[in-house]
Amino acid sequence: MIPVAEFKQFTEQQPALKVLKPWWDVLAEYLTVAMLMIGVFGCTLQVTQDKIICLPSHEPQENSSEAPCQQLLPRGVSEQMGGLREVRGLKNNLDLQQYSFINQLCYETALHWYAKYFPYLVVIHTLIFMVCTSFWFKFPGTSSKIEHFISILGKCFDSPWTTRALSEVSGENNKGPTTGRATVAVAATAGPGKAGEGEKEKVLAEPEKVVTEPPAVTLLDKKEGEQAKALFEKVKKFRVHVEEGDILYTMYIRQTVLKVCKFLAILVYNLVYVEKISFLVACRVETSEVTGYASFCCNHTKAHLFSKLAFCYISFVCVYGLTCLYTLYWLFHRPLKEYSFRSVREETGMGDIPDVKNDFAFMLHLIDQYDSLYSKRFAVFLSEVSESRLKQLNLNHEWTPEKLRQKLQRNARGRLELALCMLPGLPDTVFELSELEALRLEAICDITFPPGLSQLVHLQELSLLHSPARLPFSSQIFLRDRLKVIRVKCEELREVPLWVFGLRGLEELHLEGLFPPELARAATLESLRELKQLKVLSLRSNASKVPASVTDVAGHLQRLSLHNDGARLLALNSLKKLAVLRELELVACGLERIPHAIFSLGALQELDLKDNHLRSIEEILSFQHCRKLVTLRLWHNQIAYVPEHVRKLRSLEQLYLSHNKLETLPSQLGMCSGLRLLDVSHNGLCSLPPELGLLQNLQHLALSYNALEALPDELFFCRKLRTLLLDYNHLSQLSPQVGALRALSRLELKGNRLEGLPEELGNCGGLKKAGLLVEDTLYEGLPAEVREKMEEE
């Protein structure tokens, strides 16, 4: 006997796969089990019992044309008895071996093939049905996607985050003003900074209410949060992978069409041949010489049972076929390669849940036939809003207020600053630091400032470096008059948030980003008219002209910085309107000449033209119109000489000419009597004019990295000199007159050809060992009393 367990391998599947079996597949599975039982039962009877029993026919030879079993047809008993005659010839009592031989021979030759193989056909057809039903669960191209989907689906369904996210949405939808308890729950769930100040105080005043809330709104622990975060990443990657093709949908259609074709073929030939199963079978075989008879009347012992099993089998096949036809109707009457979460979006309020397509959509349609709750809970992990909430929750777990306070530092302006870099979001706990004065956010994506921003009552400075931020209207009102300094750095200037240009209390605005190629020539910037108190504007971009909107703040702008990263700045006429401008920086703007528009700035005090292409500065004479100019930075250019009329700049106090190509300095430079700082380092100077000794107010002189071989003695007439940088020149000696520089506190002499230091250095009362940068051997060569004096505190 064949045990049914042997067929288990054909239908054995993972229990989790049942979620992808709609009701018609489940019904078809039970029908195949029933049909398999019919086949197995028939096969068992075939093997264990006699197939056919034959008796010799006593009809004479001349009546051999008649069917051997006609005499056994229903007639009167007397007629049958009267028709019997005694057989003459061979003996009529056959032995057992002859009967077995005749039975086998007649079974093979006289019995119809359908009657012989009916149970085997049932088993074979049923196994084919089973294979067709489960083939897509086994095929490598589809099984991997199905198993991955089932694995993710189960984790999403059981994840605590799914329950929490749906509970939060449900709580938000059902929240009413009269339900104090619900208000407390939502405030606790939203986390620090999410709720309003009044709700936050209520939570702190009644913490026991939070504890007694249902588990759906309790906080997740860190491990559960990390698991949910990993699930979001898996769902994203799986969606991208599965939506690329429709192999699952195609495979399901093919196996369904194959089952329908198989059903039609089975139904047709079974209806045709089922009547071939008869109880009596006439058998004519040439066995006269062996048995003495050529005609036999045989009894198919299982014919009656097989006929009943056949009708049952046909009935099951018909029901099975109807399920297959319904499956085809379901497959083609609606677009199964598209799936809309519209109802889920309306029910949960998560409006950003995307619709899906191809195999992803098809599997979700199958899931809905099992239980639509699966797709609803799965949709939570397709929502970016849900993901951002989870990230926020994990951030709040990781960045506690105590940890954030440890990162507080004083910045260059003396403000208490918190700097956060490369975080997945902005922790709500930041807004619990009410003492915060400056907030620096770098490489943090999709920041949305919550209402809790209003708790930062001392916030004056905000930096958003590659950190796009959205600011609700209520927060805009809060920051509008409080924020004094803001820095925004992004890829393109059009990404700068519009709310930045509405901060009417802003005093400093620093923008960094590129104009798109099509807008670089126009250099259009948002209107600055609302910035009534703006004093400092810094713009680092690739503009080809000064933005026209700069004139919106011409009446009160005091400092303008344009850093063009090497892109040539062509039009600067807008600068003429900046009547009160005090400081101007035009850095890396590709300038070859000093722009004439600068000479119209009567209030200008500082000018920086660093890192341009200046070769000649003949226009320097026009700076006499800028009567308040005290600082001129012409460093990092290609200037080969300084014109003589530099003497006109008598009010100039600081002159930076480092990193140029100067070989000499004009003697007229000594007539700039107000000069306090002169930097001509990193040039090719071989000598200095003696007239430099006329600079009686000079306090800082930088001559490093030149080719000076000697210093004029007149240089040491600059009695107020505090810093003298002479390192990396070709000096062979230092004049003893250096002792006249009593105010000298810093002297750098490294990288020269000095053989010794004059002992007159001891007369420089302000010079200490820390301020003297020289080789150790030269320092040790000083007299001991000089060294002791320098080493005194």
715 Cβ partners below 8 Å, 6+ apart? 688, 690, 692, 693, 701
Q: Is the pLDDT of residue 89 over 80?
A: no
Distance between CA atoms of 665 and 651, rounded to whole angstroms? Answer: 19
Mean per-residue pLDDT, 369-383: 84
SS (H, E, C) 230-250: HHHHHHHHHHHHHCCCCHHHH
* Contact assessment for residue 688 and residue 669, using Cβ atoms and an 8 Å cutoff: no
Distance between CA atoms of 148 and 203, rounded to whole angstroms? Answer: 42
Residue 6: its pLDDT value, please?
Answer: 53
H helix or E strand, kind and range, residue 458: none
Mean per-residue pLDDT, 91-98: 64
* Contact assessment for residue 188 and residue 217, using Cβ atoms and an 8 Å cutoff: yes
Q: Is the pLDDT of residue 693 over 50?
A: yes
Distance between CA atoms of 403 and 2, rounded to whole angstroms? Answer: 71
| Stronger pLDDT, 485 or 42, i.e. the higher one | 485
Lowest mean pLDDT among 86-100, 118-132, 392-406, 638-652: 86-100
pLDDT range class, residue 574, cuts 50, 70, 90? confident
Angle between helices 160-174 and 372-379 (to 10 degrees): 90
107 Cβ partners below 8 Å, 6+ apart? 51, 52, 116, 298
* Contact assessment for residue 436 and residue 193, using Cβ atoms and an 8 Å cutoff: no
Distance between CA atoms of 301 and 278, rounded to whole angstroms? Answer: 10
Residue 93: its pLDDT value, please?
Answer: 58
Place of tokens 């191209």: 141
Residue 747: its pLDDT value, please?
Answer: 95
Strands 631-633 and 416-421: what pairing? unpaired
* Contact assessment for residue 787 and residue 779, using Cβ atoms and an 8 Å cutoff: yes
Coil vs helix vs strand at 14: coil
CA angle 411–415–418, rounded 5-degree value: 70
Give per-residue pLDDT as tens, 300-339.
Answer: 878 888 888 889 999 999 999 999 999 999 988 888 888 8
Residue 589: its pLDDT value, please?
Answer: 92
**Which stretches within 738-783 are classed as H helix?**
776-780
| Stronger pLDDT, 286 or 467, i.e. the higher one | 467
Lowest mean pLDDT among 47-51, 195-199, 596-600, 715-719: 195-199
Residue 307: its pLDDT value, please?
Answer: 86
Task: Give the count of alpha carbons within 13 A of 305, CB side only.
Answer: 15
Distance between CA atoms of 645 and 485, rounded to whole angstroms? Answer: 40
* Contact assessment for residue 694 and residue 665, using Cβ atoms and an 8 Å cutoff: no
Residue 8: its pLDDT value, please?
Answer: 52
The residue among 644, 550, 654 whose CA lies nearest residue 607 is 654
Residue 636: its pLDDT value, please?
Answer: 95
Lowest mean pLDDT among 73-77, 274-278, 394-398, 708-712: 73-77
Q: Is the pLDDT of residue 216 over 60?
A: no
Mean per-residue pLDDT, 99-126: 85
- Which phi and psi angles does 337 have, rounded to 5°? -90, 10
Give per-residue pLDDT as tens, 176-185.
Answer: 443 333 333 3
Residue 626: its pLDDT value, please?
Answer: 87
Mean per-residue pLDDT, 185-202: 37
**Amino acid letter, 107:** Y
Distance between CA atoms of 341 and 358, rounded to whole angstroms? Answer: 15
Q: Is the pLDDT of residue 215 over 60?
A: no
Q: Is the pLDDT of residue 76 over 50?
A: no
Give per-residue pLDDT as tens, 438-473.
Answer: 999 999 887 889 888 999 999 999 999 999 999 988
Tell me the two tokens of residue 436: 């915060």
Query: Which range has highest mean pLDDT (104-113, 336-345, 747-756)?
Result: 747-756
User: Residues, the chain, total?
Assistant: 793
pLDDT range class, residue 189, cuts 50, 70, 90? very low
Q: What is each CA distance from 339 to 348, 466, 668, in whole angstroms?
A: 17, 36, 83
Angle between helices 222-242 and 384-398 (to 10 degrees): 150
pLDDT range class, residue 348, cuts 50, 70, 90? confident
- Which phi and psi angles does 362 have, rounded to 5°? -60, -45
Mean per-residue pLDDT, 145-167: 81
Q: Is the pLDDT of residue 5 over 80?
A: no
Mean per-residue pLDDT, 596-620: 91
Give per-residue pLDDT as tens, 699-749.
Answer: 999 999 999 999 999 999 999 999 999 999 999 999 999 999 999 999 999
| Stronger pLDDT, 549 or 62, i.e. the higher one | 549
Query: Any bridge partners for residue 396, and if so which?
Result: none
Residue 182: its pLDDT value, please?
Answer: 34
Distance between CA atoms of 688 and 708, rounded to whole angstroms? Answer: 8
| Stronger pLDDT, 607 or 19, i.e. the higher one | 607
Query: Any bridge partners for residue 537, and if so which?
Result: 509, 560
Strands 338-339 and 295-300: what pairing? unpaired
Residue 211: its pLDDT value, please?
Answer: 36
What does pLDDT average to over the chain?
Answer: 82
Phi-psi region of 219 (alpha: psi -120 to 50; beta: other; left: phi over 0): beta
User: 10 Å Cβ neighbour count for 47?
Assistant: 11
Lowest mean pLDDT among 236-250, 402-416, 673-687, 735-749: 236-250
Distance between CA atoms of 385 and 363, rounded to whole angstroms? Answer: 24
Mean per-residue pLDDT, 136-147: 83
* Percentage of residues in the chain having pLDDT higher than 70: 85
* Contact assessment for residue 559 and residue 531, using Cβ atoms and an 8 Å cutoff: no
**Amino acid letter, 781:** G
pLDDT range class, residue 420, cuts 50, 70, 90? very high
Q: Is the pLDDT of residue 261 over 80?
A: yes
Residue 622: its pLDDT value, please?
Answer: 86
Residue 276: its pLDDT value, please?
Answer: 83
Distance between CA atoms of 213 and 482, rounded to whole angstroms? Answer: 38
Q: Is the pLDDT of residue 262 over 80?
A: yes
- Which phi and psi angles does 654 have, rounded to 5°? -135, 130
Indicate the DSSP class of residue 571.
B
